[in-house]
Structure 1
Amino acid sequence: MSGEFPESSPLVASPRPPPRPGVAEVAARFVRKKIGLGLFCTVIVPNLILLFYLTVVASPQYVSEAHFMVRGEHSMGSMPLSMLMQGAGESVTSDDTYAVQDYLMSRDAMKLLLAHDGLAKVFAPAHADFIARFPNWYSRKDLESFYKYYKRHIKAQIDADTSLSVLTVRTFSAEDSQRIARALLAAAEDLVNEINRRQRGTLVDAAQKEVNITLDQVRDLQMRLAAFRNTNAIINPEQQSVPLLSTQYALQSLMTATQMRLDQTRQTTPDSPAIAVYEHQLDVLRKELATAAGKLTGDTHSLVPQLTEYDSLSVQREVLEKVLLSQVASLESAKARADHQMVFLEEVTRPDKPDYPAYPETGKTMIVSILCFYGVYVMGRLLIAGAREHKLK
Structure 2
Amino acid sequence: MPSLFIATVLVPTAIATVYFVLSSNVFTSESRFVVKSSEKRSSGGLGALLKSGGFTNASEDAFVANDYMISRDALNALNRDGLVSRAYGNKNVSFLNRFNGLGTNGSNEKLYAFYQDQVEVKYDAASGIATLKVKAFDPVEAQTINRRLLDQAEALVNRLNRRGREDLVNYSGAEVADAKEKARAAALALSDYRNREGVVDPEKQATVQLQMISKLQDDMISTKTQLVQLQMLTPQNPQVPVLRARIAELNREIAAQTGLVAGNQKSLAASAAQFQRLQLESQLADRDLAASMTSLQEARNEARRKQTYVERIVQPSLPDNAAAPKRLRGIISTFIVGLVMWAISSMLLAGVREHTD
The amino acid that maps onto 2:196 is: T
Query: Does residue 153 in structure 1 map to residue 118 in structure 2?
Result: yes
**Matched residue, 2:315:** 350
Contact 2:259/2:267 (8 A) holds in 1? yes
| Deviation sequence 1:336-382 (CA, Å, 0-9, x none) | 76666654321101112223433332233223333333333333333
Is 1:108 aligned to residue 73 of structure 2?
yes
Residues 63 and 169, structure 1, Cα contact 8 Å, conserved in 2: yes
Match of 1:58 among 23, 35, 53: 23
- Structure 1: distance between partners of 2:78 and 2:255: 90
Query: Which of 175, 196, 219 is the aligned partner of 2:184?
Result: 219
| Contact kept? 1:109, 1:184, Cα under 8 Å | yes
Q: Which residue of 2 aligns with 1:7?
A: none
Matches within 5 A, 1:28-39: 36-39=2-5
Separation in structure 2 between the aligned mates of residue 99 and residue 194 of structure 1, nearest angstrom = 12
CA deviation map 1:292-328 (0-9, x unaligned): 2222223222222222222122223344445555566
State the one-letter code of the partner of 1:228. Y
Q: By how many angstroms is 1:68 displaced?
A: 0.6
User: Cα distance 1:114–1:226, how it changes in 2: closer, same or farther (>3 A)?
Assistant: farther
Contact map agreement 2:186 2:285 (CA 8 A) in 1 = no
Q: 1:272 aligns with which of 195, 214, 237?
A: 237
Q: Does 1:291 align with 2:253?
A: no
Bigger mean CA deviation after superposition, 268-277 or 336-345: 336-345
Is the CA contact (8 Å cut-off) linking 2:203 and 2:268 kept in structure 1? no
**CA shift at 1:385, angstroms?**
2.8
Superposed, 1:83-232 pairs within 5 Å as 94-115=59-80, 118-137=83-102, 140-158=105-123, 164-197=129-162, 213-232=178-197
| Offset at residue 66 of structure 1 (A) | 0.7
Please say if residues 59 and 128 of structure 2, whose CA atoms lie closer than 8 Å, have aligned partners that are also in contact. no
Mapped contact 1:139–1:145 kept (Cα < 8 A):
no
Q: Are 1:370 and 2:351 matched, yes or no?
A: no
Find the structure with the greater CA-based Rg: 1
Q: Which amino acid aligns with 1:46?
A: P
User: Is residue 186–residue 282 contact of structure 2 (8 Å, CA) maintained in 1?
Assistant: yes
User: 1:370 and 1:324, CA in 2 relative to 1: closer, same or farther beyond 3 A?
Assistant: farther
Helix, strand or coil for the counterpart of 2:132? strand
Q: What SS is found at the alignment partner of 2:102?
A: coil
Q: 1:160 to 1:227 in 2, by over 3 A?
A: closer
Offset at residue 124 of structure 1 (A): 0.8
On the 8 A contact 2:190/2:282 being kept in 1, the answer is: no
**What SS is found at the alignment partner of 1:123?**
helix
Q: 1:240 to 1:109 in 2, by over 3 A?
A: same
Alpha-carbon distance between aligned partners in 1 of 2:77 and 2:329, rounded to the nearest angstrom: 34
Q: Is the 8 A contact 2:25 2:325 kept in 1?
A: yes
Tell me, what secondary structure is at the counterpart of 2:4? helix
- The 8 Å contact of residues 31 and 131 in structure 2, kept in 1 or not, is answered as yes
Moved more, 363-372 or 92-101: 92-101
SS in 1 for 2:41: helix
Task: Work out the CA distance in 2 between the residues paired with 1:138 and 1:387.
Answer: 47
Q: Deviations over 1:11-35 (max 9, x none)?
A: xxxxxxxxxxxxxxxxxxxxx8xxx
Question: Judging changes above 3 Å, is the alpha-carbon distance between structure 1 residues 378 and 152 closer, same or farther for their aligned structure 2 residues?
Answer: farther
RMSD of aligned alpha carbons: 3.5
CA distance in 2, matches of 1:116, 1:280: 108
Which residue identity does 1:112 align to in structure 2? A
Aligned pair 1:311/2:308, yes or no?
no
Give 3-state SS (helix, strand or coil) of 2:95's partner: coil
Give the Cα–Cα distance (whole angstroms) in 1 for the partners of residues 290 and 332 of structure 2: 75
Task: Give distance in 1, aligned partners of 2:290 and 2:334.
Answer: 75
Q: Name the SS for the 1:136 alignment partner.
A: coil
| Structure 1 pair 220–139 and aligned structure 2 pair: CA distance change class (3 A) | farther
Q: CA deviation at 1:141?
A: 3.1
CA apart distance, 1:126: 2.4
C-alpha distance in structure 1 between counterparts of 2:58 and 2:190, whole Å? 58
Take 1:270 and 1:49, find their aligned partners in 2: how far apart are those partners?
Answer: 150
Instruction: Give me the whole-angstrom Cα distance separating, in 2, the residues matched to 1:114 and 1:232.
Output: 75
Structure 2: gaps spanning 5 or more residues: 49-56
Q: Report what 2:210 is aligned to.
A: 245
Partner of 1:70: 35
Q: 2:190 and 2:126 mapped to 1: Cα distance?
A: 69
Q: Tell me which residue corresponds to 1:281.
A: 246
Residue 330 and residue 382 in structure 1: after superposition, are their counterparts in 2 closer, same or farther (change >3 A)? Answer: farther
Q: Distance in 2 between matches of 1:299 and 1:161?
A: 79
Q: Which runs of 5+ in 1 are unaligned?
A: 1-31, 85-91
Q: 1:79-108: CA deviations, max 9, x gaps?
A: 69xx99xxxxxxx99344334322222333
Equivalent pairs: percent with the same residue? 27
Q: Indicate the residue corresponding to 1:15 in structure 2.
A: none
